[in-house]
């Protein structure tokens, strides 16, 4: 993806389809802006149809998770990659910390990454330390999480389709002033690039985009982009406000 990447993670919001439709209407007024980015919305499953029919020309559909198997056997309660693709899903968020907190392991994440790749869906793999750590111990946590989540990937064609989201868990769902500091972000991004280089070699590692997520808001977007090495944002709460998301999109375009 040559353009900057913006992924709106709606989580379990807004609370009604009508509100989702009116948010889409507000976003579509700035469609020219979003067309300058690789812009994805990951809505709750029940809003897929509305998002895909109302915003085809400026947004790509994403899912917040993916089932770990492409098998066609029956699995009550699951949504297969084929169903996701039938709605036009191009990217799946995998290993979000809120799913890891419910018991998803890095081994589960690695299965899901492989399933996404086999299905032609871009895996957006989330990693990030749980607590803020002044001694740098979180780097070891990050290394292990990345290595396990991307275990078993060998084919160049697979590796070249990966996208990583660095989301320190302690920074999620707060406010701009609680997000990571740009200097710490650039250190973490450098560290992630080093691990990817150790795993896949420099040439492949350089091609893997790294996004940042965790309390990205209009007030900190510019700073987070300044020489930190990220290729875009994964935005939660601020993506539910069309004005805020527009400001964040503008920061990405003018970076
Ligand atoms: P936030 O969420 O922007 O509300 O911190 C980000 C995320 O959880 O992906």
Cα–Cα dist 127/143, whole Å: 9
Cα–Cα dist 251/244, whole Å: 11
Residue 56 confidence class, pLDDT cut points 50, 70, 90: confident
Cα–Cα dist 21/101, whole Å: 30
Give the DSSP per-residue string, 135-175: TSTHHHHHHHHHHHHTTT---HHHHTT-EEEE--GGGTTS-
Return mean pLDDT, the chain.
95
Q: Is 190 helix (H, G, I), strand (E, B) or coil?
A: helix
Residue 217, ligand 1, Cβ within 6 A: no
Of the candidates 142, 149, 107, the one whose C-alpha atom is nearest the C-alpha of residue 124 is 149
Q: Is the pLDDT of residue 240 over 90?
A: yes
91 near 38, Cβ under 8 Å? no
* Model pLDDT, residue 75: 86
Domains belonging to the chain, first-starting first, are 5-253 (3.20.20.70)
Q: Is the pLDDT of residue 71 over 90?
A: no
Question: What is the distance in A from the centroid of ligand 1 to the CA of 237?
Answer: 6
253 near 33, Cβ under 8 Å? yes
pTM here? Answer: 0.97
Q: Is the pLDDT of residue 141 over 80?
A: yes
- DSSP symbol at 227: T
By annotation, the residues acting in catalysis are 96, 167
Pocket mutation for ligand 1, best pick of 13, 99, 170, 172 (most atoms within 8 Å of C-beta): 172
Q: Is the pLDDT of residue 137 over 90?
A: no
For the segment 6-41, what is each residue's pLDDT rounded down to a tens digit? 999 999 999 999 999 999 999 999 999 999 999 999
* Model pLDDT, residue 133: 78
Residue 255 confidence class, pLDDT cut points 50, 70, 90: confident
Question: What is the distance in A from the centroid of ligand 1 to the CA of 203?
Answer: 30
Residue 173, ligand 1, Cβ within 6 A: yes
């Amino acid at each position: 993806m040559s353009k900057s990447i913006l992924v709106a993670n709606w989580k379990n919001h807004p609370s009604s389809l009508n509100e989702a439709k009116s948010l889409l209407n507000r976003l579509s007024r700035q469609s020219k802006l979003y067309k300058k980015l690789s812009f994805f919305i990951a809505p709750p499953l029940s809003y897929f149809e509305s998002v895909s029919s109302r915003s085809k020309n400026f947004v790509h559909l994403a899912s917040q998770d993916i089932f770990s198997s492409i098998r066609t056997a029956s699995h009550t309660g699951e949504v297969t990659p084929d169903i996701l693709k039938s709605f036009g899903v191009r990217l799946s968020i995998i290993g979000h910390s809120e799913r890891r907190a419910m018991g998803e392991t890095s081994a589960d994440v690695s299965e899901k990454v492989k399933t996404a790749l086999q299905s032609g869906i871009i895996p957006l793999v989330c990693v990030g330390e749980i607590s803020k750590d002044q001694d740098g111990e979180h780097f070891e946590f990050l290394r292990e999480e990345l290595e396990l989540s991307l275990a078993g990937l060998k084919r160049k064609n697979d590796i070249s389709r990966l996208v990583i989201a660095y989301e320190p868990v302690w920074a999620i769902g707060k406010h701009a002033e609680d997000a990571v500091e740009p200097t710490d972000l650039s250190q973490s991004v450098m560290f992630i690039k080093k691990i990817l280089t150790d795993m896949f070699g420099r040439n492949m590692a350089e091609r893997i985009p790294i996004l940042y997520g965790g309390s990205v808001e209009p007030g900190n977007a510019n700073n987070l982009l300044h020489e930190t090495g990220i290729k875009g944002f994964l935005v939660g709460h601020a993506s539910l406000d069309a004005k805020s998301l527009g400001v964040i999109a503008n920061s990405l375009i003018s970076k």
